[in-house]
Amino acid sequence: MKTITGAICAMSLIVGAGIGLNTAKADEVKVPVTQQGEQKNVQVPKQGVSKSYVEQKFGTPSRVEGPVGDPPITKWIYDGYTVYFEYDHVIHSVIHHG
């Protein structure tokens, strides 16, 4: 019985000592969606512009998904970013990471 109790106490000390070892912290960097293009020097369509303007200024997307839902959301995927439309107007442009 002493051996089991001693082993449990020893394990408790080892586990208890290890709790404080994993206290590494990392800084969290948040970049607002509207500032993402500035960091990579990528020009993306601004909120509110039409599909025809986007196609004229940025070209034909490599892929189109949608429309889906109500209101209809369409996604135009370009090399480096994706543009989201509600009906005929941009609601967001998101730069791809990686």
Instruction: Indicate the domain borders of the chain.
Output: 44-98
pTM score above 0.75? no
Distance CA 91, CA 38 (A): 18
78: Cβ contacts below 8 Å, ≥ 6 apart: 58, 59, 61, 62
Residue 25: the pLDDT is 77
Q: Alpha helices of 28-87 — where are they, by DSSP H?
A: 36-40, 51-58
Cα–Cα separations (whole angstroms), residue 70 to 19, 24, 54, 87, 91: 50, 45, 22, 9, 14
Distance CA 95, CA 62 (A): 15
User: What does the pLDDT profile of the chain (98 residues) look like in tens digits?
Assistant: 555 555 555 555 555 555 555 566 777 766 666 555 455 678 999 999 999 999 999 999 999 999 999 999 999 999 999 999 999 999 999 999 87
